[in-house]
Amino acid sequence: RKEVEQDPGPFNVPEGATVAFNCTYSNSASQSFFWYRQDCRKEPKLLMSVYSSGNEDGRFTAQLNRASQYISLLIRDSKLSDSATYLCVVTSSAADSWGKLQFGAGTQVVVTP
């Protein structure tokens, strides 16, 4: 089983609509959670960290459910520029993980006019 799993999509979203997707992680010792976005042939860019109480940054809302070991990302009022692959990233402070990033395979979002 992969440590971090995501629905690869693509999620085809009309402009202005809301889209949400989840990411599950298997290591209960995971401590830090992030969403990165990656445009085609570009580097991953930090979108937001995910905090236990959930957090919002403009049109983006991230949630963490430790009991069920998943995080979610919701995008409201989707823009064409939101089209990208969204990478779920998890780290663990366990000694054998040394804070290494564990990446999901990414969820592709395509916003259409």
Partner 1 sequence: DTEVTQTPKHLVMGMTNKKSLKCEQHMGHRAMYWYKQKAKKPPELMFVYSYEKLSINESVPSRFSPECPNSSLLNLHLHALQPEDSALYLCASSQEGLGQADTQYFGPGTRLTVL
- Closer of 12 and 18 to partner 1 (Cβ): 12
Of 64 and 87, which CB lies nearer to partner 1 in the complex structure? 87
In angstroms, the CA 11 to CA 67 distance is 26
Shortest Cβ 39–partner 1 spacing (Å): 11
Q: How far is CA 96 from CA 1, 70, 88, in A?
A: 18, 22, 20
Q: Which residues bind partner 1 (CB under 8 A)?
A: 31-32, 34, 41-46, 49, 87, 91-93, 98-101, 103-106
Question: Which one, 96 or 113, has the nearer CB to partner 1?
Answer: 96
Give the nearest distance from C-beta 19 to partner 1 in angstroms.
Answer: 20
CA distance 101 to 31: 11
For strand 4-6 and strand 19-25, is the pairing parallel, antiparallel, or unpaired? Answer: antiparallel
Q: β-pairing, 84-92 with 4-6?
A: unpaired
Query: Taking the complex as a whole, how short is the minimal distance between the CB of residue 43 and partner 1, in angstroms?
Result: 4
